[in-house]
Structure 1
Amino acid sequence: MTDDQQANSTDPEDLEDSQPEDSSQVVDLDTEVDEVDSDPVHAEDALRYFGADFDVDGLVKRLNNETFIIPTFEPINSEEMAGFEGFQRGLVWKKPQMDRFIESILLGYPVPGVFLVELSDRRYLVLDGQQRMTTLQAFKTGYWRTPRGRSKFSLRYVGDEFKGSTYENLDPKAQRLFDNTFIQATIVVPKGPDGKRGVYSLFERINSGGTNLKPQQIRVALYAGTTVNFIRDLNQDENWREVFGPHNKDLKDHELILRALSLMPVARGTKSFRPPMARYLNDYLEIYQDQLPPDAEGVRSRFERAAQLLNEARGRAALRLRGTQINAAHTDAVLVGLMTALTQADLDADNVREALETLTSNDDYLNAVSESTSHSDQVSLRIKLATRAFMGESLADEQG
């Protein structure tokens, strides 16, 4: 094979994301209008920020000693991570993207800036620029993690000048150029009671600018702690995995569990839902960041039982109204309704199958999971209908 042929042939492994599985599709029918926050936080009330420059060498050192933290979204096997302790989230760039980014630096091109959030212990959370920073770390370390294990990081998808190069075999001038390249960072410092809400709002708004983080990924990073870990643990339940499908790279499976937990008080009548959904979920995690939700072990038991019954009753069809996409509003209602019913009765798969058939043939319910799904009355209605259905009660007297 000639060099040209080698350059034009792509190793299938290089084109695989390092996420272990394809994502299950989740459709959330909230419209942008439904999700507008009527009282957005002002940056001056919640944040301060300033610029700082880091050379690549210093940046990689800070990643290695965990002064800079890449958010952890899923537990990773320790053996798989051997030699990659700094790689807390799997790379989603493919090898050609990584190679071309490194080549750009070696050719002297500037590097786009990154966003860091200062934590209370003076460490910094990387909320934008993760792929660039982990690629720099991988190249300097000499290895990158692939779906099949770690591989030597040598440049392949680049011009002839750097083809086959590793950090170690670069000539001293090229090494200095790489190490001394400056990257501008915007450092965001939360302040006051609305600090985390302000950080969430900032990154939600710069999503349109190309950041890879999705809403639940931002939550997991900002509100890392007891409840996030609790949800991560529930997300591993084998029946839930059967019903939901493969892990979702945008953490929609985590988000659906969070929605169910946070909406349980609505079913009990001890709390009212106030839109938008994103802010409601953030507020819940703000309260329970460092403590488990009330009756956590009971919640765990009922969630696991609910997932088992849904799996036995309808399998993957339980969360899907039509086609292959999971309906988010249907899912939160089903989980909340079933878990609430389990506090009062021991159901079996036949009960659950009958309840699902009752719900999916009810016009009011179908409207509540299909139209303006983040409106408070629609959320309350679908939870009330789902709870009644799983309790074996008639839905005829419930009006939309």
Structure 2
Amino acid sequence: MTTAHAQEEPEVVEDVFDGLATGVEVEGDGGADGSIVRPWDPALIRVSTNQFSLRNILDMIDEGSLELAPDFQRGQVWKTEQKSRLVESVLLQIPLPAFYFAEDSQGKFRVVDGLQRLSTLHAFARKRGEGFRLKGLEYLDENEKTFTDLPLQWQRRIYNTQLVVNVIDPTTPSDVMYDIFKRINTGGTPLNAQEIRHCMSRARSRDTLKTMTSMSEFNTATNGIGGHIRMNDREMALRFAAFWLLGMDAYMERPAMDLFLERATELLDNAKELPDSRINDLYEAFRSAMSNAHLVFGEHTFRKWPEGVTGRNPINRALFEIWSIALAPYTPEDLERRRTAIVAAARDRMTHDIEYLDAITASTSDRRRVEYRFQAAAEDAKAGA
């Protein structure tokens, strides 16, 4: 342990989205800039370019052959004026940037880039009573109108609009597809890593993570972070699932957090490799981990809490992964007896151990830092035994 008596406590920075604090600490991942760092064979990247009418695409959405990532909340942050000006651009016949779809082996498509634009156009043209009225148009005198209020020629113009769509072939490996996704997702506010995984995943993993983050134990431990607008809650649940199902050795084989979480997502989606009984075991372990963590740390659960600090910091994802895994196996009775000793050990480490502070603050995906912080939490969880 490297002591930090003379060191100034590193500043805790809370992530902000759309001007609002998210309740989660910014994670310093050490240069995770989204660039492709593995030497892919260019032959593995297969993308074809097609043209679809907007009517055709909206029909595909309605029939379920084009998925708009159900339960994805980010699209709701677009203001009505932003949505209206997208519709106005279509009416003015201004070409929209190309869309990217990923095709799966069953011939179904998922939106890789353009999710917010398609969600907006679908809401306006197809949801009718649940849609929105145009507002703040700059060039057309159609404010306060819904799709059905528009003249028929305007409705036809929307439906006949031709969209350029780049389709990623299903034979493209998922990790290559993920890197393509990171490179091209530029529209609106760029998606973060978990939002990308959500858009690329199937219903089984999405439902699993939703169930985990809807648990009362999770929301008690995290002060109600379930339903997080940037899906930080889903990422935290996925991190637990990844380390609980795959283990530290699997991470050390390919020490990159994105790759590790992609692998865990694929596992959750594979009913043959991960049967429902194992999912139920995961739920029980997660429920125990959340209730145990809150039992020990109370309102400071998964947050930096060095000695001398009384205020509550935002949630730290690295602390979430290590303490949820470390505390999951214990009984509440055992932890209740040793709670004071565990808290003292954890706070002492957060105050004096520079290596530990680095491991939960910066370059958090580095193999040595991941290994060190997990070992540290496992040791501190035994305090008072």
TM over 0.5: yes
Query: Matches of 1:101 and 1:239 in 2, distance apart?
Result: 41
Match of 1:385 among 344, 352, 376: 376
* 1:299 corresponding residue in structure 2: 282
- The one-letter code sitting in structure 1 at the alignment partner of 2:320 is T
* 2:143 corresponding residue in structure 1: 163
Residue 335 of structure 1 pairs with residue 324 of structure 2? yes
- The one-letter code sitting in structure 2 at the alignment partner of 1:369 is I
Query: What SS class does the counterpart of residue 110 from structure 1 fall into?
Result: coil
After TM superposition, the structure 1 = structure 2 runs for residues 1-400 of structure 1, keeping only pairs within 5 Å, are 23-32=22-31, 38-45=37-44, 47-73=45-71, 91-141=76-126, 143=128, 150=130, 153-159=132-138, 161-191=141-171, 195-207=173-185, 212-244=190-222, 245-246=224-225, 247-264=227-244, 272=252, 274-291=254-271, 292=274, 295-321=278-304, 324-339=313-328, 341-342=329-330, 347-349=334-336, 351-352=338-339, 354-362=341-349, 363=353, 364-392=355-383
- The one-letter code sitting in structure 2 at the alignment partner of 1:54 is F
CA apart distance, 1:210:
5.1
Provide closer, same or farther for how the CA distance between residues 352 and 256 of structure 1 changes in structure 2, counting only shifts above 3 A. Answer: farther
Query: Matches of 1:208 and 1:216 in 2, distance apart?
Result: 15
- The one-letter code sitting in structure 2 at the alignment partner of 1:279 is L
Residue deviations 1:272-317 (CA, integer Å, cap 9, x gap): 3532111121123334421337844333223212211322333341
CA apart distance, 1:346:
5.0
Query: What SS class does the counterpart of residue 91 from structure 1 fall into?
Result: helix
Provide closer, same or farther for how the CA distance between residues 358 and 35 of structure 1 changes in structure 2, counting only shifts above 3 A. Answer: farther
Contact 1:154–1:164 (8 Å) recurs in 2: yes
Q: Which moved more, 1:164-173 or 1:132-141?
A: 164-173
- The one-letter code sitting in structure 2 at the alignment partner of 1:181 is T
Query: Matches of 1:91 and 1:391 in 2, distance apart?
Result: 44
CA apart distance, 1:227:
4.0
Provide closer, same or farther for how the CA distance between residues 101 and 232 of structure 1 changes in structure 2, counting only shifts above 3 A. Answer: same
CA apart distance, 1:58:
1.7
- Equivalent pairs, count: 352
Provide closer, same or farther for how the CA distance between residues 370 and 356 of structure 1 changes in structure 2, counting only shifts above 3 A. Answer: farther
Provide closer, same or farther for how the CA distance between residues 178 and 33 of structure 1 changes in structure 2, counting only shifts above 3 A. Answer: closer
Identity %: 23
Contact 2:49–2:164 (8 Å) recurs in 1: yes
- Where structure 1 has 5 or more consecutive residues not aligned to the other structure, the ranges are 1-16, 75-87, 145-149, 395-400
The structure carrying a bigger helix percent of its residues is: 2
Query: Matches of 2:57 and 2:36 in 1, distance apart?
Result: 36
Q: Which moved more, 1:255-264 or 1:209-218?
A: 209-218
CA apart distance, 1:173:
2.3
Contact 1:100–1:157 (8 Å) recurs in 2: yes
Query: Matches of 2:247 and 2:260 in 1, distance apart?
Result: 15
Contact 1:263–1:336 (8 Å) recurs in 2: yes
CA apart distance, 1:22:
7.5
Provide closer, same or farther for how the CA distance between residues 273 and 252 of structure 1 changes in structure 2, counting only shifts above 3 A. Answer: farther
* 2:4 corresponding residue in structure 1: none
Q: Which moved more, 1:308-317 or 1:116-125?
A: 308-317
TM-score (structure 1 length as normaliser)? 0.77
Contact 1:35–1:277 (8 Å) recurs in 2: no
CA apart distance, 1:187:
0.7
Query: What SS class does the counterpart of residue 124 from structure 2 fall into?
Result: helix
Query: What SS class does the counterpart of residue 47 from structure 2 fall into?
Result: strand
Query: Matches of 1:392 and 1:199 in 2, distance apart?
Result: 44
Query: What SS class does the counterpart of residue 148 from structure 2 fall into?
Result: coil
- Where structure 2 has 5 or more consecutive residues not aligned to the other structure, the ranges are 1-16, 306-311
Query: Matches of 1:134 and 1:367 in 2, distance apart?
Result: 40
Query: What SS class does the counterpart of residue 321 from structure 1 fall into?
Result: coil
CA apart distance, 1:321:
0.5
Query: Matches of 2:170 and 2:153 in 1, distance apart?
Result: 40
Contact 2:101–2:166 (8 Å) recurs in 1: yes
* 1:3 corresponding residue in structure 2: none
* 1:82 corresponding residue in structure 2: none
Provide closer, same or farther for how the CA distance between residues 66 and 283 of structure 1 changes in structure 2, counting only shifts above 3 A. Answer: same
Q: Which moved more, 1:24-33 or 1:373-382?
A: 24-33
Query: Matches of 2:364 and 2:33 in 1, distance apart?
Result: 8
Provide closer, same or farther for how the CA distance between residues 175 and 278 of structure 1 changes in structure 2, counting only shifts above 3 A. Answer: same
TM-score (structure 2 length as normaliser)? 0.80
CA apart distance, 1:67:
1.7
Query: Matches of 2:190 and 2:35 in 1, distance apart?
Result: 21
Query: Matches of 1:173 and 1:38 in 2, distance apart?
Result: 49
